[in-house]
């Protein structure tokens, strides 16, 4: 009985098959040295294996040294990257470069979202750029700013994610001089049903009308990026219970939610309470640390000289 050779699988090996034996019985066919009965000899490195290994190594060295990407992270989060060619990776890099994004920023973007390493620029990336340019109407020089601020835009589907969110935001009032810009394009990655609507409904539950909420988020778009549980709720609780604030003041200064509760709001409020002073919410929070301390000293001096 003739034992057929087993196929050995090498890491990153080429799929080129072994040469088939000749059917000419007069030729002396050398039998394989590996069989299921013989122990596995020391592995040699056939040319096709060496070539594939070298290409793989070249790709790893390129993304690590040229783009400063963590190759272990890339392989773990994007297994398809193992079989991707270096030319495919370079095509992604060229695509991002064509939009004015510098190499250092490209490396950070690809390290943050390794799935982009195996993306097809024509089907995955250029449609996003086309959407930002022609539908959102962000000027070409500012596309780079939009992507650097929010690389996640590049991994969002235009039809299923970006366009529906743009329509929702436009209906909310992000049009005209309040249109989405490179600074607010990050809102486009938010899910309408799961993220944006619940935040609007929470603000309405505080006593604001839909129109008032719309005006608040247009004046301070960052509100739509904040967490209900970790941001809105604790800050509302502190404002109402400790500061004895009036909801009407939040309408006038919705940026309140964008300041750190522990790092600024509580600290400054307690200093004012300690000295029995009061400042409008906007003044209390918008002043720099130096300006706030100077204002506090000034108020203390005034209180000393008052009869």
Note the residue count of the chain. 307
Q: Is 222 exposed, middle or buried (0-12, 13-18, 19+ CB in 10 A)?
A: middle
Residue 2 has pLDDT above 60, yes or no: no
Query: Rounded CA gap, 143 and 128, in Å?
Result: 10
CA distance 185 to 166: 9
Domain boundaries, the chain: 52-119
> Which pLDDT value is given to residue 51?
83
**pLDDT per residue as tens digits for the range 109-166:** 999 999 999 999 999 999 999 999 999 999 999 999 999 999 999 999 999 999 999 9
- The residue among 307 and 200 whose pLDDT is bigger is 200
6: pLDDT strictly greater than 70:
no
C-alpha–C-alpha distance, residues 92 and 122, integer Å: 10
pLDDT of residue 28: 40
Q: Is pLDDT of 5 > 80?
A: no
Instruction: Assess whether pLDDT exceeds 70 at residue 203.
Output: yes
Using CA atoms, how far apart are residues 192 and 168, in angstroms rounded to an integer?
Answer: 7
Residue 45, pLDDT > 60, answer: no
pLDDT per residue over 88-110, tens digit each?
999 999 999 999 999 999 999 99
**Span 278-289, mean pLDDT?**
92
Euclidean distance between the first and final Cα of the chain, in Å?
A: 116
CA distance 67 to 183: 26
Residue 172 tokens, joined: 């909310």
What is the reported pTM? 0.76
């Amino acid at each position: 009985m003739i034992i057929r050779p087993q196929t050995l699988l090498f890491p990153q090996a080429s799929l080129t098959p072994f040469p088939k034996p000749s059917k000419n019985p007069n030729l002396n066919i050398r039998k394989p040295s590996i069989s299921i009965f013989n122990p596995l000899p020391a592995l040699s490195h056939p040319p096709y294996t060496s070539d594939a290994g070298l290409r793989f190594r070249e790709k790893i060295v390129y993304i690590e040294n040229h783009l400063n990407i963590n190759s272990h992270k890339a392989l773990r989060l994007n297994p398809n990257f193992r079989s991707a060619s270096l030319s495919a990776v370079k095509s992604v890099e060229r695509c991002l470069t064509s939009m004015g994004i510098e190499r250092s920023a490209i490396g950070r973007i690809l390290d943050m979202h390794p799935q982009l390493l195996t993306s097809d620029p024509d089907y995955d990336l250029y449609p996003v750029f086309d959407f930002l340019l022609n539908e959102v109407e962000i000027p070409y020089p500012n596309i780079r700013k939009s992507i650097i601020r929010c690389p996640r835009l590049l991994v969002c589907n235009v039809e299923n994610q970006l366009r529906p969110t743009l329509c929702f935001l436009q209906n909310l009032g992000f049009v005209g001089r309040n249109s989405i810009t490179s600074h607010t394009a990050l809102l486009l990655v938010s899910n309408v049903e799961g993220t944006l609507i619940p935040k609007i409904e929470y603000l309405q539950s505080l006593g604001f009308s839909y129109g008032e909420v719309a005006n608040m988020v247009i004046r301070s778009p960052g509100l739509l990026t904040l967490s209900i549980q970790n941001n809105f709720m604790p800050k509302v609780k502190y404002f109402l219970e400790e500061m004895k604030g009036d909801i009407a003041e939040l309408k006038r200064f919705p940026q309140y939610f964008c300041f750190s509760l522990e790092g600024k709001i509580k600290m400054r409020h307690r200093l004012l309470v300690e000295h029995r002073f009061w400042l409008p919410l906007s003044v209390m929070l918008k002043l720099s640390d130096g300006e706030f301390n100077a204002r506090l000293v000034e108020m203390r001096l005034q209180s000393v000289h008052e009869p």
